[in-house]
Every structure is written in structure tokens, then in C-alpha cells.
Structure 1
């Protein structure tokens, strides 16, 4: 029996369940904000999985709270000297208050944030986030163009949005792909892994043997890229 993936909602928690040829049930909670993933033997029914998750629910909630706390603590004051990451590389922030158009400029080491005098940290952060989203959009456009040609498929629609528990998602029926806006802070090869991962679902629903074989064939280092992506 090939591996199959389903999604369950258990006591308000979204849980991805992968049924495959394993001896024991394992529960994991993963960044960026606490995605819950269960690896279950194929002989298990949904009710057995549900009861196992409920039994571990206090631990699961603690892990999810940890990830969310880390995310909250990572918020910046948006002042000169702070370090901000763009595609895996640290840049030193320099805030420049002056009249004129507000914008962000970047070089190899710095982020220059041009803002009006008296701007709030929230306003500065929103400006930076818009700039990061645009950098990510351009990177996704380039990667999709490359992989559409390699895989001989077309991605008809994709979007960038905030996602609490996933780096990306794909609806095989509509062929719509979504990317987590936080990917703008991850190394480019991690972004490429997500692009290929989601496009792979055009060919293989779920994450079974067919999916892993596809990834092995087209992106041999995908497992190491996944590990790097999921580091905090």
C-alpha cells in the first residue's frame, strides 16, 4: 500500500496525517508556526490517530506556543543597526529620515530604509514587508519559469500570503499554488525546493513514494534543503 496523506482537525488543531509502511505512530510539530504532522502505520484507522493526537495534545500545544512565541520575539523596533535577513543573508538596517518617496534599497550588506521623519516602527516594518514581498515575487516568477520548462507544465495561478503552518500549498484541482511570505527570508535554494515541491503535486497527490521519487529525480538535494528550511 502506497503512502497517503489526509488532513484532520482535532480539537481545533489542523493535523496532516501520512499513512505509510512504518511500525509506530510518530507525531511532530514543525516551524514556522507549529504545523502538526503525524506519520501513522497503514493499519491504523482515523480514530486511532485521533486518540493518539488527543493524548499528546498538551505537548503539541506547548510546542506550537513555543514557535509562536519565537515569532513574536523576533519582531524588531526598526531602528538603525538592527540585523534583518533577506534570502538567507543578514543585512544591517539603516533608517534615513528625509522628505520624498519612501522606499527600501539594498546592497550586499545593508538595507537602506528611506522614510518620513517621525514614522512609527509599524509603518517602517510595513514598508520593509512590502519590499520583501516584491523581492520574493520576482524570485518566484523566475523559478516558476525555469521549472515550467523543465517539467513541461504551466502554473496558471499562484499567490504569496502569510501562512501560519506551511511554507507552501497546492490545490491539484485548481492548480493554484500559494507561497509563505516568510520565504523572502530563507536562502534561495530553500525557495526553489518549495517551488518544485508544490509543482510536484501536479503529478502526485500527497507525499507518498511517487512524490519522493519525483523529488529525488528532479531535485536530488531536496531533503537537505527541507532540513535547512525548517531550522529556526
Structure 2
């Protein structure tokens, strides 16, 4: 069931789900506001909650609308691409062979068949970035699972349109955004620690922040750096801001 709240011109989408708490989200690229609430939550209760968060909502909307975005990628020679925060120049090589990606100190070499479309080039690079994240995972999980006293279930690396990562505490499953391979290494580490912490504290409450403070004291600085980095040129909801109501 879906409703809409209209607060002085601010349209808020309300969706009811089988959840325990109210979740308020501000979604990029234009700051659309969405509330997920347990079944039976009165609209007036949600209205008062959103009103109490209006200053925060407006601040998040301003940040998202000012977010720097990358230029479009055409997959032509000398184009800039990134791996773990380092810039490489694209070197496109045509060959009648399977697509491949190789890295040199200065170049990201993309081997494709003649006539390959930009969309297919994007798919090849996306798969390669996914492999980079997967290759980095074992060492990070080996480091952080014992420290936090948790054990992740399955870890998926995939294209995600609403967040950098997610966790399902009931199953221990964690999902990571493929695009993390393009950001500095500490960003992937922060997201992994963030999602593993959800196996201890499912919500973003004060206890959640306390656990992060204990184990990764600089997490706020890393989060801020990640959120300042340019996002893809295409419209995708990658920087959702959230707030919960107890």
C-alpha cells in the first residue's frame, strides 16, 4: 500500500512493509523523499516524523543536487578511468579475440572485437571491476570478521542503484556495489565494516555508531570522502541518505 504526504510542497512517498521501524530516505539524484513504515503506522505519525526531519531532508537534498558527476564515457582512447582511486588512461585495442582488460602503470587496456558498441564495452569493464572487488574481499573479511565477532553469509558483488552496500542480518548476506572498485581502497573497507556491523546492530542507531567508533574510528571521514567523489554520469541512485524512527 502506498500513500503520499504533501508537506509545504515536499512530496513524500509512503510505503508500508513488514518491518519494525520507520525508515526515511532521501534519494539521488534530485532528493526524492521516501518513507518505509510498518503496516498500521498512522499517516499523522509519519507526518510528524517527517516534519521533525525537515532541516535534515533539505540539507541532504542540497548536497545531492550539488554532487559532482563524471563526464560521459565513450570508451575512446585516452579517456580517464579509475581503479582504487587511481586514474588510468584508456587504451582501446581491437582484436578478433575474447574481450579482455589489462592494467599497466599508466593505462587501462581494453581489448575488444572490431565494431563493439560502447554498451558492450561498459559491460566488459563492469565485469572486470566486479572481479577486482571480489579479489579484494577475502583479505578484508579475514581481517574484520574476527575483530567484530561475526561471520558473513554469502557476499554478492553487483551493480547497485540505491546504495554502496547492503546487509540482510537474518541470513548474513552482504551485497557490495561493483563501483567500489573505482574508489580509494579505504572506501571498500569502510563499506565492508559498515555492513558487517549490521550483523551486530541491524539499524543505524546510536549503538551502531558506537560499534563503528570502536573498530574504525575514522569511519566518518572515509564516508565523507566517498560521498564527495564524483558519481557516474548516468542517473543512478547511489548516495541514499537515511534516517530511522524508533
Both structures adopt the same fold (TM-score exceeding 0.5): yes
**Correspondence for 2:105:** 108
Q: Which residue of 1 aligns with 2:169?
A: 172
Q: Which residue of 1 aligns with 2:48?
A: 48
For the residue of structure 1 that corresponds to 2:210, the secondary structure is helix
SS of residue matched to 1:92: strand
Partners of 1:52 and 1:89 in 2: CA distance: 41
Once residues 207 and 55 of structure 2 are traced to their aligned partners in structure 1, the CA distance between those partners, rounded to angstroms, is: 32
Contact 2:29/2:64, CA 8 A, preserved across alignment: no
Counterpart contact for 1:93–1:112, Cα < 8 Å: yes
Instruction: Return the offset for 1:215.
Output: 0.6
Is contact 1:132–1:184 with CA below 8 Å preserved after alignment? yes
TM-score (norm 2): 0.71
Give the unaligned 5+ runs of structure 1.
Answer: 1-7, 18-27, 39-43
Q: In structure 2, the residue corresponding to 1:77 is in which secondary structure?
A: coil
Distance in structure 2 (CA, Å) of the matches to 1:194 and 1:58: 25
Gaps of 5+ in 2: 6-11, 16-21, 36-43, 231-246
Describe how 1:1-232 pairs up with structure 2 within 5 A: 11-12=12-13, 16-17=23-24, 29=26, 45-50=45-50, 74-231=71-228, 232=230
What's 1:5 paired with?
Answer: none
Shift of 1:61: 8.0
Q: Distance in 1 between matches of 2:133 and 2:153?
A: 18
Structure of greater relative contact order (alpha carbons < 8 Å, 6+ residues apart) = 2
CA distance in 2, matches of 1:58, 1:197: 25
Cα distance in structure 2, aligned partners of 1:13 and 1:88 = 37
Following TM superposition, by how much is the alpha carbon of 1:196 offset from its aligned partner in structure 2, in angstroms? 0.3
Q: How many residues align?
A: 207
Per the TM alignment, residue 36 of structure 1 is displaced from its structure 2 partner at its CA by 5.4
Q: Give the TM-score of the pair, scaled to structure 1.
A: 0.74
**SS of aligned partner of 1:230:** helix
- Structure 1 residue matching 2:125: 3-state secondary structure: helix
